[in-house]
Chain A
Amino acid sequence: MIFRLNPNAGIPLYVQLMEQIKHAVETGALREGDQLPTIRKAAEDLVMNPNTVVRAYRELEHEGILELRHGSGAFIKESAGGRARVVRKAQAIVQAALERIAPLGLTEEELRRVFENELAQVRLEGAGGIAEKKP
């Protein structure tokens, strides 16, 4: 269910792992209460540094997606579904925006760059609403 991460993508590996887990929650592949693989199993299966897995899990815990139960492992949090619903809402907005941009005839690469630049701008300017980390 979780695919091998790409070290060449330039995105930190732990972020890639987080994204994949979040995506799994959004699509329903992972449901509330499901247990994630142990750190050892994930490190072994994905052939990646266990500390990277640890970091991804911890960040997700921070974001409220999963909870680390001492001794038992990592489980998708009950409220994670809630976060996923918010994400789905945002998805709908972006979908609408894309429909509006379509007539401009930009390529996918161009679109992606526009979006990333705006995101970087917003981060630089410290605009509210878009948090890098959950407060």
Chain B
Amino acid sequence: MTDCIIETKQLTKSFKGQPALRGLDLQVPRGSVYGFLGRNGAGKTTTIKTLMGLLRADAGVARLFGVAVDAADRAIEIRRRIGFVTEDKELYPYMTVEEMIRFTRSFFPKWRDDLAERYLKLFDLPPRKKIPDLSKGMRSKLMLLLAIARDAELLILDEPTDGLDPAATEDVLRELMAIAASSGTTMFFSSHQLSEVDLIADHIGIIDRGKMIVAGALDDMKAHYQRLQVVLADSGQLPARWADGVESVRQEGRVVSILASRNVDEIVEQARSVPGAKVERFPVTLKEIFLEHVRSN
């Protein structure tokens, strides 16, 4: 197993009897850009909060840099190596941008003033403005600045582009990619924007109802997943049992849509063996992989 900077095994958590995480297994390789996807309420923020020590798991293990997150003696040293952006992007309402930076800086010996300066200019953040006077987009950017300037090895970002207009989204993603390219910082982020994740992530994990339903390297997934469209002749009958690798089969009249995650050639053969059937292959987008898995779960 390659070096996992984040790892959970059978992570379980309930709130007042309602299960939020039901045995989540997560592996984030060091240096990767990992997109953590899921519907609202699937457990993304719960997972992130558990990793950050804000919540305590009922069962299972969570490790950051190989150290258990509930190891009290090492918790502080670990948080020094992580940059965190919260879901609601709230900062102290009685501070200005400048004060927020000075405050945060005091906790990180590896703080990079040059990076803070750079992002202050790049993101066009007015230093003397009070936090409540900033738009959500500016607050997100400020939080990102605070996370990046501490020269962290790992960035944990809860919906970093949520609520941002397209221009701000572009700014943020571009900077994240620049950082990924130059420093090898691992990025673990949750998102709803599948097309963005498709561009910038190299690994993804899809969580649904508290469990990881699909995870792995994005390129591998896209290479192996294929959609087959089978048009049956009037008398056509589908095979009773499909070969391994068929994720879902949907039929509407004579048209059958099959999502396959592997073994595609064998499945194509199976489909072709139905007399009169015409088979076509189509590549699959991340969105289709996501929707298919989440709908059938």
Binding site for B on A (CB under 8 A): 5, 7-14, 39-40, 43-45, 47-53, 55, 113, 116-117, 120, 124
Q: How large is the interface on B (under 10, 10 to 19, 20 to 34, 35 or more residues)?
A: 20 to 34
Q: Cβ of B42 < 8 Å from any Cβ of A?
A: no
Select one of B174, B201, B280, B284 contacting A49, CB under 8 A: B201
Cross-chain contact A49 with B282 (CB below 8 angstroms):
no
Distance in angstroms between the alpha carbons of A94 and B64 in the assembled complex: 55
Q: Cβ of B198 < 8 Å from any Cβ of A?
A: yes
Cross-chain contact A49 with B178 (CB below 8 angstroms):
no
Q: Distance in Å from the Cβ of A108 to the closest Cβ of chain B? A: 16
The A contact surface, by secondary structure, is: helix
Q: Distance in Å from the Cβ of A9 to the closest Cβ of chain B? A: 8
Cross-chain contact B281 with A51 (CB below 8 angstroms):
no
Distance in angstroms between the alpha carbons of A117 and B272 in the assembled complex: 13
Report B150-190 CB contacts with A as 1/0, cut-off 8 Å.
00000000000000000000100111011011100000000
- CB nearest neighbor in A for B177: A43
Residues of A close to B284: CB separation below 8 A:
10
- CB nearest neighbor in B for A50: B181
20 further interface pairs, Cβ-Cβ under 8 Å (given A39-B181, A48-B199, A49-B180): A8-B198, A9-B283, A10-B283, A10-B284, A11-B283, A12-B223, A13-B198, A40-B178, A43-B177, A43-B181, A47-B173, A47-B177, A47-B199, A49-B199, A49-B201, A50-B177, A50-B180, A51-B33, A52-B219, A53-B181
Cross-chain contact A7 with B195 (CB below 8 angstroms):
yes
Cross-chain contact B283 with A49 (CB below 8 angstroms):
no
Cross-chain contact B286 with A7 (CB below 8 angstroms):
yes
Distance in angstroms between the alpha carbons of A5 and B195 in the assembled complex: 11
Residues of B close to A12: CB separation below 8 A:
219, 222-223, 283
Q: Cβ of B200 < 8 Å from any Cβ of A?
A: yes
Cross-chain contact A10 with B282 (CB below 8 angstroms):
yes
- CB nearest neighbor in B for A120: B281
Which of A8, A40, A47, A49 has the most C-beta atoms of chain B within 10 angstroms of its own C-beta?
A: A49
Q: Distance in Å from the Cβ of B61 to the closest Cβ of chain A? A: 28
Q: Cβ of B10 < 8 Å from any Cβ of A?
A: no
Report B223-234 CB contacts with A as 1/0, cut-off 8 Å.
100000000000
Cross-chain contact B285 with A44 (CB below 8 angstroms):
no
Q: Cβ of B102 < 8 Å from any Cβ of A?
A: no
Report B262-297 CB contacts with A as 1/0, cut-off 8 Å.
000100100000000000111111110000000000
Residues of A close to B219: CB separation below 8 A:
12, 14, 52, 55
Q: Distance in Å from the Cβ of B79 to the closest Cβ of chain A? A: 27
